[in-house]
A and B are shown apart, each in its own frame.
Chain A
Amino acid sequence: MKKLIRLTVNDREYDVAVLPNQTLVDVIRYELGLTGAKKGCEMGDCGSCTVLMDGKPVNSCLVLAMQAAGRKIQTIEGIETENGLHPVQEAFVQKGAIQCGFCSSGMILTAKSLLDKNPNPTEQDIRKSLSGNLCRCTGYQHIIEAVKSVTP
């Protein structure tokens, strides 16, 4: 039996009918059409479905849509500013931190969340914070350089 919930995603409110076992990633992707969050494993291992919930990165494949009701969700589609790309997005573009791009949404959101809390992270801070986001293309080096290059 579906239940109507109200989701706040990228500052917009959506009323959606969801099943109790429906994950947040499925609702975001297939009901709301926000396909920037990717599904790489559906087990919370890869981080490609990362979204920010009340500012904290979560694997949206491990969050039930119903658990997200009343929380503030931010996806990759919601971080661009009036001036264009968010500084973290811009840094990823400029530093060559994107290859296949499948991890990029999650990687960028996790990095944003880190920088929101800690605008001057050390390299080890960056490595620890982003270690839950897997990337098979880059070897991470350009990603680390990108995050380092974002100045407060």
Chain B
Amino acid sequence: MSEYNVINSRATRLDAPAKATGKAVYIDDMTLPGMLYGALLQSPLAHARILRIDTSKACKLPGVKSVVTAKDAGLIKYGVSPARYDETLFCHDKVRYVGDEIAAVAAVDLATALEAVSLIQVDCEELPAVLDIDAAMADGAPVLHNDYPGNVCAEVHAEFGDVEAALKTCDLVRTTTFKNKRQDAAFIEPQGCLANYDLSGNLTLYSSTQVPHYVQRTLSMVLQLPIGRVRVVKPYVGGGFGIKAAANHMELAACLLSMKTGKPVKMNFTREQVFTYGRARHQFIHTMTTGVKKDGTIVALKHQCHLDGGAYSSFGIATVYYSGSLLGGPYKLPNMKYDGYRIYTNKPACGAQRGHGGVAARACWEQQLDMIAEELKMDPAEFRLKNIMVAGDVTCNDLNMSSLGMKECIEAIRDGSDWKSKKGKLPKGKGIGMACGFFVSGAGYPIYRSDTYHGTVMVKLTEDGGKALVYTASAEIGQGSDTTFAMIVAEAMGIRLEDVRLESGDTDFGVDLGAYSSRQTLMTGHAAKEAAEDVKKQVLDVLSKELNVPVSDMDIRNSFVVFKKDNVDFSGLRTRYIKEHRGWTDNPQSGPLTFTEAARIAYLAKGSIVGTGKYKPPQLGGKYKGAAVGTSPAYGCSAQVAEVTVDMETGQITVDNITDAHDCGRAINVTSVEAQMVGSVSMGLGEALFEEVKFDNKGHVINADLSEYKIPTMLDMPSVKPIIVESDEPNGPFGAKEVGEGAIMPTIPAILNAVYDAIGVRIHELPLTPERVWQAICDCQKEK
């Protein structure tokens, strides 16, 4: 039995009825009076110099209201990391990938806007393009950005301990190289937005975004709007997974067009544009050298990584740091050296996607650790347990594991999968594998340098006393955060979940950095809890005065006021309350004092009762360059066992089942935690088996749709057994921490290790298509 009344249970999501009935409003469901439709002109060439842009024919087309280019937009640079602002709203000198934005049109309908786009004449001089890391780094390669010779967008060099010296002390040293493929997050709702610049000079942007706050800042800066004039509102969002975690060109263009025309402007990406905009997982090429003692103690990791970044930085500076720093745990690793390079290529920019920077690195290392365990004749579970960190451990790169149920996760999947009776005992073509991983519960620092709170929450009681209204600028994008915060507020106030209403996703509600880096449960959750406690205290303070009972002798539970000592006479308050609500049908007649009565009495005494909460992380560890990427108030962790069947004739892999344990701290909404766990497995499984954004030799995406870019269907997903391992995270609200991204970490390597167990060959490149697996089986047979 849980000690809690609301959290740590299975709650029905607040938004589920609206979403089940088609009533939930997403961006393309919105209209405004007089609304225009926008369209973008995007480059058909991967690399070209722009000589001349002629919009005259487009402007003359009946129904066209505005055509804008870099001349109108200006050349203010923006991006994600202020250290690498390398994008402008529209290209002016060069285009750098197929899809780079050149101009935008607003017209009375979409067909007219698209026709106008086709009438814009652009004279270009095509330049040689670099489409992969090797071409971009070759001597004399064409340069994308003059400020970055050699096409090196960012490089990271970090060493903790002394890796070379440590490797010399090892009994076994192994090196492997691994590569994944560029991903698309394939959320089902393409990006869209609706901009409305009103007569008073205020701009409101409704957008399918994960980060209203950062979009607000980018709009203000790029469009040079005065402070306080920009509001960003997020309706329901059909998934994001990291790609919607920054302002995009379409949002900026729609706003500019609305400012030019004085009318609302709607724009949507097509599915193809989702792919050509990109910003999803990079391609990583990892080379790792790991040294161990013969008893299985991990001693050192030397790691080099190249990232194919595409044409702009986007989140890439953080990505190149994360892909090194996220190997600091969850194993005790005293020596780690990392050299990372993010390379510009003439392809859509890559950015952050679920498990930011860490997924391919984790896949590489967890497979290598399995290979080492085998050489040492150790069971992979025992090898991992021997090296595992526990709560209180700090990694060599200063990540503080303030809670860590990693050991418990390994034990849970080992026992939950019947590992001991299967590992090494399955017939040819059947395999079992395991892996671990961990992730931050929120980035320790905002993307821009600031002392801002990472989240603020306001709780206001309705003046009639009936409800607690929660206002947060956080972003519900499908993960269930609205319900989580309503549960936290209800728990902290001592009221029922049905007595809470919540509004979110509006920059007018406060500051919240948004849904990325698995930050909201911990960070926004803290602010929600503090705001709720503030309100509760205000109500109890008033009651204390009215009833002459010390606050310490009262509490609120289940929406009733509880007096710790008997015989408190509150009949006077009840009479006053009922007088205030003459004729109402639900006035309390007998029984304990209700929260509603108390809240009304508090309002009568003080006016509107408003509580506020805020959160920013405490000073976190790490003084070295790049320490800001990877430090977090807490870390979630997970372990998975995958069982697979490989058709030895065709190379076709079927994942039969997954046993999945995750330490999310205290689970707020158990159903949502499981949903994140299984959803993460699904995305990891797709990346392991099918997913790859492919290009032709001119830089066009050749599978920019959901039939050729294959994500798992219901027929591809195995049964997943989710096991929640709870710890009590000291830095989390009610002990809670992340689940949304840590849960993807073990999936790919667990499958890789299971495939090896099934076929006896290691594969070091994703995706594990039948062709690649079949080839690996053939190559192995030839060698024999």
Contact = CB atoms under 8 A, between A and B. Distances in A.
Interface of A: 29, 34-43, 45-46, 48, 75-77, 80, 85, 89-90, 92-94, 96, 98-105, 108, 126-128, 130-144
Interface in B712-757: 712-715, 717, 719-720
A47 B623 CA distance: 50
B189 A85 contact: no
Nearest to B16: A93
Contacts of A99: 239, 478-480, 675, 679
B83 interface: no
B23 interface: yes
A141 B678 contact: yes
A5 B712 CA distance: 38
A43 B690 CA distance: 20
B24 interface: yes
A102 B188 contact: yes
Given A42-B270, A127-B714, A142-B678, A101 B17 contact: no
**What 4 pairs between A and B have smallest CB-CB spacing?**
A36-B22, A100-B478, A102-B238, A101-B19
Interface string B15-34: 11111111111101100000
Contacts of A144: 714
A108 B678 contact: no
Contact of B10 (A46, A75, A93, A96): A96
Query: Which of B21, B241, B707, B714 is packed against the most chain A CB atoms within 10 Å?
Result: B714
Interface in B689-715: 705-707, 711-715
A139 B712 CA distance: 8
Contact of A76 (B21, B29, B271): B21
Given A45-B706, A76-B21, A103-B188, A136 B16 contact: no
5 contacts: A45-B707, A85-B20, A100-B187, A101-B15, A137-B478
Nearest to B22: A36
Contacts, number: 172
Nearest to A92: B20
Contacts of A105: 22
A89 B711 contact: no
A40 B190 contact: yes
Interface in B632-684: 671-672, 674-675, 678-683
B344 interface: no
B129 interface: no
A136 B185 contact: yes
A65 to B, nearest CB: 15
Contacts of A138: 675, 678-679, 682
A132 B716 CA distance: 12
Nearest to B20: A89
Contact of B682 (A100, A102, A103, A139): A139
Residue of A96, A103, A142 contacting most chain B CB atoms (<10 Å): A96
B714 A131 contact: yes
B19 A45 contact: no
B678 A139 contact: yes
A93 B11 CA distance: 10
Given A136-B241, A138-B675, A140-B717, A93 B17 contact: yes
Contacts of A126: 714
A96 B672 contact: yes
Contacts of B237: 100
A132 B188 CA distance: 13
Contact of A139 (B22, B681, B706, B707): B681
B701 to A, nearest CB: 14
A21 B315 CA distance: 40
B197 interface: no
A135 B22 contact: no
A67 B21 CA distance: 25
A73 B491 CA distance: 44
A131 B715 CA distance: 6
B762 interface: no
Interface in B591-625: none
Interface-central residue, B21, B189, B270, by most chain A CB under 10 Å? B21
A21 B151 CA distance: 46
A143 B25 CA distance: 21
A41 B239 contact: no
Contact of B477 (A35, A100, A130): A100
A36 B706 contact: no
A39 B28 contact: yes
Contacts of B719: 141
A42 B675 CA distance: 27
Nearest to B722: A141
Given A99-B675, A136-B187, 18 more contacts: A37-B22, A38-B26, A38-B189, A46-B188, A76-B20, A89-B21, A90-B20, A101-B19, A102-B478, A104-B19, A108-B20, A131-B713, A137-B478, A138-B682, A139-B712, A140-B682, A142-B675, A143-B714
